[in-house]
Amino acid sequence: MSLQDKSLHCSDCGVTFTFTAGEQEFFRTKGFTEEPKRCSACRAKRKTQRQGDGGRDFNSRSW
Ligand SMILES: [Zn+2]
């Protein structure tokens, strides 16, 4: 059975984004069974925020 592109709604910004067959395949190889809840832009944003939190933690210690 071949995978097909899916249209999903981002839970953060509400935009409709495409979960492509290639990405589904990638998710599967990574062992993820759930579909992504966020578009790539919001995922990138959260990744940056997480790194920012680590930086803040580091800064608060040095203050
Ligand atoms: Zn989004």
pLDDT digits (tens, 9 = 90+) for 10-40: 999 999 999 999 999 999 999 998 899 999 9
Distance 38 CA to ligand 1 centre (A): 5
* Cα–Cα distance, 40 to 56 (Å, whole number): 24
What was the pLDDT predicted at 62?
A: 46
Distance 17 CA to ligand 1 centre (A): 8
- Cβ atoms of 5 and 18 within 8 Å: the answer is yes
What's the start-to-end Cα distance of the chain, in Å? 57
For residue 37, what is the DSSP state? S
37/41 Cα distance (integer angstroms): 12
Tokens of residue 15, six digits: 């935009």
Least confident of 2-11, 15-24, 39-48, 51-60: 51-60
In this predicted structure, the answer to whether residue 60 has a pLDDT above a threshold of 80 is no
Q: Which residue has the tokens 């290639």?
A: 22
Q: What's the CA-to-centroid distance between 55 and ligand 1, angstroms?
A: 24
